[in-house]
Structure 1
């Protein structure tokens, strides 16, 4: 069991949990900031978590839902108060509704996570600060300590799995539920470079092409909240896609927090019906930048139809081009 001590201080209104791992600080840090990894251990074994949002930067927010063995759901949120990359982060932690909004009827706490190197690996110190003695007792009665013990007992397995999250693995597609799909990829480049690659027409026309044989003919960018964008593609004459019909997408910016997060709508030009909401988050990792896009579809039927088109294959080809552009720049 990774946990070496649990100390509850009723005068300071804190609970401090110390755990030690046979992995480097960098590897342990990545497990906590990557939504694909943290959701594999944050919930107890019988209540696995799904992270729909995980923005590890000051002012960022996380939203996760744990699902019990009989389909029960319990959601929570983190509000990031401070982040010292590779060393520590501080959050406000509380209960949430299914859409991620705070449940003010339940207590919220402040938590700090401190990562330290050891000769044989790393140490994680998690300190929870409660608003009152009643709040501390309530959370303990609800099983907070046992939940943390069970969750941390799963971390070693995640830390040992290097292949699933390696930078050369390419794109990963996860169906989170009927209407949510997360697409993730580590791109060798800084967060600022990857953000700029999405917001400068010149590089976008070089990498955002999808499969071979297409050219981006229209690249009208949106730079502010409320702005609209429009992208169009056409087959290259004599190329592999010659004879195919052109296509395009349009939408608008709903949220923007450069260079970490952007939320946009997206719909295919000329198609009837509702489009998607795309939430892009950029997180620095040892190998570069973890790009995560949470796609919200209007229905499971639309989700399955879009995935069956080979959309993610085209995204992988485009992201590989982006990476080549960033490396050669």
Structure 2
């Protein structure tokens, strides 16, 4: 039989597919926690619709926080001369699904252009020179894509089977992100880079929204069904106020023109210590109540 000239390419594609599937399986099984090479990476699962097949296609993709309800992904393909398949797919259909580990949400992809793309690219390169190395390997301009979350009009879709599990899943997501920020600050120089500022501000905003949601919905829900939890809930609300003060101070330091890395690192350490105590106490008090039979 004649030798298949496409066999090396097919073998490579199969290895890539198998590797991606292992990452996807681990990501979903552990709510975004990964081991090995990706243990300290910001990774999400991006599901696009195949431009030719029309079938869903899920790919692990690195991302950059961008404040609000959007994140940025970069179609580097490791510096290859062809755009990655997921980018081709979202150009054909910008409606995508994003899995962050804690949450799954629909999003709309927008390819950044002009000055907006250049600012985002400069932030990415400042944070990780590897992006520039990829650009040097190819003649194509590597695209930067914003994934804008589409509001569903209700509570977020947490990847959990119960309200008790949802508390732990969301808390662990905050723990992981704060650990990454601490690591980035330790590795950084005397001034804060632009992307690290955005990472901090995005974290602060997410934590504010989470605590606001608990104050407005979760805590009244628990209090109505478990009146004995009143003292614990009062303490948790007081801790929310205290953490809000710490968050405001971190925002102030991060947005200061000087961008003092040491001052920001000190505020992150203060926030980490008190936030961990708060999350642990909340889990100890609320999870047993929510796990109890109705």
Scaled by the length of structure 2, the TM-score of the pair is 0.35
Which structure has greater helix proportion?
Answer: 2
Which structure has greater strand proportion?
Answer: 1
